[in-house]
Amino acid sequence: MENLLNRSVRLDILATDSTGEKFNIEIQRSDKGAGFQRARFNSSMMDVNLLQKGKDWNALPETWVIFITENDVIGKGLPLYHIGRYIFDTNEKFNDGSHILYVNGAYRDETPIGKLMHDFSCTDPANMYYDVLAERVKFFKESKEGVSIMCKIMEDMRNQSLQEGIQEGIKQGIKQGVEQGVKQGIASTVLRMLASGKYALEEIAEISGLTLDEVKALRAEQGA
């Protein structure tokens, strides 16, 4: 989802159910990637992108941001954490249609969510509880067509990571080049001020933004 003014966001899954409700599902192994502010940001970006121009506010669909995390990031031992707004003064729900749900991937028991979290971390489809998930895992791991699809996905991910790395390298190179150019420009100005003999060292430091020691070091390099 693009944001022309500020940061954009890439969602793992954006789904729509039969009633029109929207679901952003994020799978996170790292606790850092499942921060509360990120959930808030994803929710806000969904709202911005789902409401078309000229539409009334009431046209916003019910939205869910669901983080399925490898660890219990909230740390209360529950299988699910349903976060929503409420009115502090009356302790009533503030039903704005926005929901955030954290799913504890470390949770295990014989309940449906406990079994599902077991399946999420299970590598052998024969040991899974849910047939639908087991069949898909078996397809992608054991069938020729499924393995080919996964190989293509992995290749695309590698190429995408490579391109992102190249772009980031270019950005960093430009940034470092600009910073180096600025430093060189300041140094050149200081050297000219030193050569003129019109300025005290303290004045040069104040004008250039350098410390007195840095000015003295440049003077030493100049041989003055």
Q: What would the DSSP string read from start to end of 56-118?
A: -GGGPPPEEEEEEESS-SS-S--SEEEE--EETTTTEE---SEEEEEEETT--SSSHHHHHHH
| DSSP element (H, E) containing 148 | helix 144-196
Q: How far apart are CA 24 and CA 33, in angstroms?
A: 15
Residues 107 and 135 sit within 8 Å (Cβ to Cβ): no
pLDDT, tens digit only, all 224 positions of the chain? 877 777 888 889 999 999 999 999 999 888 888 899 999 999 999 998 888 888 888 888 999 999 999 999 999 999 999 999 999 999 999 999 999 999 999 999 999 999 999 999 898 999 999 999 999 999 988 899 988 998 888 888 777 777 777 777 767 776 776 677 667 777 887 787 777 777 788 888 887 777 888 888 888 877 65
Give the DSSP letter of residue 197.
T
> Structure pTM?
0.66
The pLDDT score that the predictor gives to residue 63 is 95
| DSSP element (H, E) containing 146 | helix 144-196
Which distant-in-sequence residues (6+ apart) come within 8 Å of 208 by Cβ?
Answer: 186, 189, 190, 193, 215
Q: How far apart are CA 44 and CA 31, in angstroms?
A: 21
The pLDDT score that the predictor gives to residue 126 is 93
The pLDDT score that the predictor gives to residue 223 is 65
Q: How far apart are CA 31 and CA 89, in angstroms?
A: 32
CA distance from start to end of the chain: 58
The pLDDT score that the predictor gives to residue 224 is 53
Count the residues in the chain. Answer: 224
